[in-house]
Structures are given as structure tokens and as C-alpha cells.
Chains A and B, each alone.
Chain A
């Protein structure tokens, strides 16, 4: 069974940094593009970034470009999200998701919560 498990969330002050991790199992991790998607409390889903299967290409939503960096370690079946200059509006549950095909996210983690507050 394909499984994704996020970790690394927590409470952080505005302007701070945080690194999220996502451990994959049950599928050939290096064969798939991977994404991070977030959901603010009581709000809808927001796509934030994508990394190619080889890790050589990454793409970001305007809301996080220049502040967040997605990366992966295929030798450890792991995905990461480095978040800097955090803002109150970055408070959300962060999900990692596997790309079945062209943005169809067929495997999701349970999410890890990030709260940006003074």
C-alpha cells in the first residue's frame, strides 16, 4: 500500500523558518513527481509546489515563490519543504501528495500542521 507520512510541523514566529519532511513507502518513489498542498484552517486546498521525479525541476505558486524550497532524496524515499520568512497566512495543514499523472494527486499524507503566530 502506498503511504506518505509528513512530519516537522509546529508553532513558529513570523519571519521564522521550518523544514517539513515526507516519508514515502509502498511505491517506487523516484518514478513520480511529488507535490506539497496546504489547507488553512476551515479553508480550501491550495497547491504550493511541485518537484520532478529526478529532482532537477521545481515549480512554485506565487504565494510561496522565493520563500519555500521543495527538494527530495530519492535514496531515502523522502520529500522536503524548506520554509523561510514565514507569515501568518502560511498557517495551514501541509500535505505531501504523489502525482499519478499531470496533477492528479492519488496518494496523500495525513498532513502536518504549521502555525505561524507571535
Chain B
């Protein structure tokens, strides 16, 4: 199972909105609602921010939102803040009780 495709990097200025795409296939992202997003700061464990395509994890700011169209899921961060600078990973159920992560996107706040 190949990793889901994410842009290597995305950047934005404080206060702006950015979106990160996560492209899979009709066998994973396109087939299931079990798409999640994680934030990982350097040297830290990943943190769940979005699950089931668009549900926010407990305690996560409403500046984070998720969506999906066809085989591509997206994470949008609105009102970008310095603390949002991190690596972001998507993941999807692939069937047969297996899962796959995205390649990861480094978000830089300019």
C-alpha cells in the first residue's frame, strides 16, 4: 500500500487560511469516511486533530476543518497562527483492517 499523496510543504502568513490535500484512490480515501489528520511538532508524538473526514478531536480549535471530495481529502487551517507550524499527516482506512498514512506536509508560518 503506497502512502497517500500530500504536498511536501505549504506556507502562509499569520491570519491567512491554508489547505493541505491528501490524495488517495477509490480503494482508500474515496471509499471510506475513516480519514484522519494529525499534527506533529518536532520531537513530539502526533496529535489527532480531525477524524471521520470532518469531526474535530476533543479540544481542537475550530480553526481546523476537514473535507473530502472523491479520492482527495483536505485539511484547512484558518486564521493561521505561529503555533500551527508543524508537520501534518493524513491517514485512511484501506479495507481489510489496514490503514495508510500520507507522505506528510510541512506547514510554515511566514
The answer to whether B46 touches A44, judged by C-beta atoms less than 8 angstroms apart, is no
The answer to whether B36 touches A105, judged by C-beta atoms less than 8 angstroms apart, is yes
| B45 CB-CB contact with A under 8 Å | yes
SS of A interface (majority): strand
| B100 CB-CB contact with A under 8 Å | yes
The answer to whether A59 touches B96, judged by C-beta atoms less than 8 angstroms apart, is yes
CB B35 to nearest CB in A, in angstroms, measures: 9
| A118 CB-CB contact with B under 8 Å | no
Which residues in chain B, 26-85, are within 8 Å of chain A measured between CB atoms?
A: 32, 34, 36, 38, 40, 45-48, 51-52, 57-58
* Cross-interface CB contact of A45 among B32, B52, B104, cutoff 8 Å: B104
The answer to whether A103 touches B99, judged by C-beta atoms less than 8 angstroms apart, is yes
Instruction: Report the interface size for chain B: residues with CB under 8 A from the other chain.
Output: 28
**Chain B residue at smallest Cβ distance from A93:** B45
Please indicate which of the listed interface residues A44, A57, A100, A111 has the most CB atoms of chain B within 10 Å of its own CB. Answer: A44
The answer to whether B96 touches A103, judged by C-beta atoms less than 8 angstroms apart, is no
**Chain A interface size, under 10 / 10 to 19 / 20 to 34 / 35 or more:** 20 to 34
* Cross-interface CB contact of A50 among B1, B51, B97, cutoff 8 Å: B97
CB A66 to nearest CB in B, in angstroms, measures: 15
| B103 CB-CB contact with A under 8 Å | yes
| A62 CB-CB contact with B under 8 Å | yes
The answer to whether A59 touches B102, judged by C-beta atoms less than 8 angstroms apart, is no
Question: How far apart sit A29 and B46, CA to CA, in the bound complex (Å)?
Answer: 20
| B23 CB-CB contact with A under 8 Å | no
**A interface residues with partner B (beta carbon < 8 Å):** 35, 37, 44-47, 50, 57, 59, 61-62, 95, 100-106, 108-111
Interface pairs (29), CB distance under 8 Å: A44-B101, A44-B104, A45-B89, A45-B91, A47-B99, A47-B100, A47-B101, A50-B97, A59-B96, A59-B97, A61-B1, A62-B1, A100-B51, A100-B57, A101-B52, A102-B52, A102-B93, A103-B34, A103-B93, A103-B99, A104-B34, A104-B36, A104-B48, A104-B52, A105-B38, A105-B48, A105-B91, A108-B45, A110-B45
